[in-house]
Structure 1
Amino acid sequence: MRINKTTQIIAASVLGVALAGVGVAGPAAADDDPGNGSSSGIDVSVKIEPTTTPGQLSMTVADNTGVSLQENGSDAAARQFVGTLPTVTVSDTRKPEDIPAGEYWAVVGQASQFTATDNPAKTIGPEYLGWKPRLLTDSSTGAVSAGEPVSSVVSDGTGAPEVGLKGQELLVSTANSSDEIGTSKVNADLALRTPVDVAAGEYHSTLTLSLFNQS
C-alpha cells in the first residue's frame, strides 16, 4: 500500500441556536384617562437560515467483545485458528464539489504481536495472521472495493501474498468523488497460521484499523 499524503479527519458540528419570541409593549395608558392614551405596534422580524452540517468521512466498528480465534483447518504443515472481523462501516457524507480531485480513502489494518498471558516472552508475530476482506454492500459502481487477501507467512495454499497483517488494506475507494459518497460495509475472515510446534498458551494481539484520507 502506498500513502502519499495523510490528512487528519476532523468531525465538525454546528451549534443550533434557538430564538425565543420577544414581545414589544407600548407605553402603558394612564388608568384614569384611557381616552388620552395612545399605543402603536412595532413589527419585529428575523430571518433564520437553515443550519447545515458539513459532510464528513468517518469510520465505525460494530459493537464487539473482541475476536476469539478457534482452531479449524490445522494440518501437518501448520496449526490454524480462524474467526471473523466485526463489521466495519465507512460513511462519506461530503458533497462531490467538496472532495478534491484525485482524493481517495482507505481503511488499513495493523496487528500487534501476539503475547502469551502466562509468559510475555512467548510471542507470535503479526506476520502469522492473515485475512480475506469481504465487501458487504453493493459494489456495482466499482467505487469501493475490499482489500486483497493476505496470508500468514505459513502459506495457506491460496496463493495470497504471505506477508501477514502489517499495514494491509481492508477497504479502499476509487478517486471518483461522486461515486465515493455513501456508506460501505466490510468484514474479513481472519486466519492465524502458525508452525505446528507453536508453544501452547493463551495469546492476545491488538488489531488496529485506521481510516486514511489520501491523494
Structure 2
Amino acid sequence: MRLHRTTRTFAAAVLGVALTGLGIGVAGPASADDDPDNGIDVSVTIEPATTPGQVSMTVADNGGVSLQEDGSNATARQFVGTLPTVTVTDTRRPEEIPAGDFWAVVGQAAEFTATGGSAPPIGPQYLGWRPRLLSDTSTGAVSAGEPVSSVISDGTGAPAVGLQGQELLVSTANSADEIGTWQVNADLALRTPVDVAAGEYHSTVTLSLFNQS
C-alpha cells in the first residue's frame, strides 16, 4: 500500500504601473493597421504530459473539532461535531490505472485523554462517525464509507465498533471513472457511559490514504 501526501502553495503577482508627468507629450502606440509588417507571431507546441498522475489527499484548514453535548439520554452521554472536509484527487490517466486498483481513506481515532490526567481515558471505540459524500456524482465509482457507532449503540443499526480503522471514502476496483476530485466529511458522535468523569478530553483522528493495486 502507498500513502500519498500533498501540500498546497500560493503565488502572488504584482503589476507595476507607469506614471507620466504633466506637460510631457507622449506619442501614442502605432496600431496594427498602421504597419502590418511589424506583427509578431507567437506560437507554442505543447507535448502530451509525461509526468504520471497520482492519487492525493488534503484536509481543509481547520482549528480542530470541538464536540458539543447533544442527544444525551439515560443510556449514554453524547457529544457531536463535524469532521473537516477531506478532498481526494486522482489525476491518473486510464492507462496508468492497473487492473484491480483501488484507493481508500481510512480513519483511526486515538483514545481521549483528560487534561492533566485527571480522569481515565475514553477509548476510540466510543467515537463513531457517519461519512457524507459532498461531490455531485452519479457514477458510483467513489462512495462514502459506511457509518459506525460507538460501542454504546446510537440505535441506528450502524455497527457498534467505534472509529478504529474505518473507511471514510473508497473507490471501486478497476474503474477509470474514479479519476477526478472527490470531497467528503463526516458527522462525529462520541457516546460515553452516563457516569463518565467530568473533564476536558483530547483525541487525534488520523486519516490515511491507501492506494492498493
State the TM-score, normalizing by the size of structure 2: 0.78
1:39-65 deviation digits (Å, cap 9, x = unpaired): xxxxxxxx9864834211100000000
Tell me, in whole angstroms, the C-alpha distance in 1 between the residues paired with 2:165 and 2:129: 12
| Superposed CA RMSD | 1.8
TM-fit CA distance, 1:119? 1.3
Alignment match, 1:93: 91
Which of the residues 2, 19, 26 maps onto 1:7?
2
Which of the residues 154, 161, 167 maps onto 2:152?
154
Secondary structure of 2:196's counterpart equals coil
Q: Which consecutive unaligned segments of at least 5 residues does structure 1 have?
A: 1-5, 12-46
Alignment check: 8 A CA contact 1:109 1:169 kept: yes
Counterpart of 1:167, as a letter, is G
TM-fit CA distance, 1:122? 2.0
- Written as runs of structure 1 = structure 2, the 5 A alignment for 1:9-48 is 9=4
1:173 is aligned to 2:171:
yes
- Written as runs of structure 1 = structure 2, the 5 A alignment for 1:1-215 is 6-9=1-4, 50=47, 52=49, 53-119=51-117, 122-215=120-213
Tell me, in whole angstroms, the C-alpha distance in 1 between the residues paired with 2:122 and 2:68: 16
Aligned length: 175
Secondary structure of 2:131's counterpart equals strand
Q: Which consecutive unaligned segments of at least 5 residues does structure 2 have?
A: 7-43
Alignment check: 8 A CA contact 1:118 1:201 kept: no
Counterpart of 2:194, as a letter, is V
Tell me, in whole angstroms, the C-alpha distance in 2 between the residues paired with 1:88 and 1:159: 25
Structure with greater Cα Rg: 1
State the TM-score, normalizing by the size of structure 1: 0.77
TM-fit CA distance, 1:175? 1.4
The alpha-carbon distance between structure 1 residues 98 and 154, as it changes in their structure 2 partners (threshold 3 A), is same
